[in-house]
Structure 1
């Protein structure tokens, strides 16, 4: 079974395959539709320790300091074109869960630390949601996180209008407060579907 198909565990995936483009980003689309229960264990080891800085300059590890579950996405905040649909979706999921008295922390780990600096990440993410935490670090520190979460991406080109264009994965990691990956949420889920899966992990 391919890794792309395994990424569909515990969620509903789209039927299309290929690459999704969002302005200054292109994304791998999910594979063939596959659904299991939300408590199905991941069939491979993914995730691990990292040491980065949040957008305020505070040291941050994989653990959530306030004890919240986490939605983690690898991408970038500063996108002058049409940015990834994942970030607004994460913000909406956070709002839906808040109305159900379930708190969760949406987190972006940058794949472009030159673009996403401590000075620029916070304002860019605040345009989407004040709840977001942006994480960055040295190339070496980010590399540890990329390896642990099996993140790969390729810079395709520098667009004169939209800036760097990357091909990278678009799945969202659901993690517990300690930083353990619980499941992966493909971007084809609606906010309500994603919130329903997360609520199951929260015991609701």
Structure 2
């Protein structure tokens, strides 16, 4: 077993180091970065795109390696609330409305928060977190998104982090579905299946979908 690991390390040492560095940078995105720190944000994005390019260059035919790397990059965000966007507060709010059979297209948070008998869990925290701009408008998210919000709230329980985790699981499942069917589509089009990794390892996709929950 140790000989096998040693051989694997020798053959894939550089890509493994690239993955480790990428994980560290994604960790900064997930747990430390403030959206007002533009220079740091831009630098990290540039570094991650470079690392993505080098990973695919080194291991583009190594299906399992790149698949595992893409999943690991997404898992980094699973223990953190989004720190580059506050939209997820509105997602959870809308999901709670749908579960309570309240139409999010007919009720604005500013009006609902004044109701004494409001049955939304964590209502005040969600209301303050979404910001004044979102709070004064009806929901603009399509019905399919509303179903995902409600499902995430149902699976995640009443806690905000639980709902965020549930949404990320749904996004990860969707990304794996895109990966699976994307490879099939590429084969149908007589294109190389490894091209799907330009999506699956794309830092913008990982950070915006899994990290910021913009879907």
Q: TM-score, normalised by structure 1?
A: 0.27
Which TM-score applies when normalising by structure 2? 0.26
Give the number of the structure whose alpha-carbon radius of gyration is greater: 2
Higher relative contact order (CA 8 A, sep 6+): 1
Task: Choose between structure 1 and 2: higher strand proportion.
Answer: 1
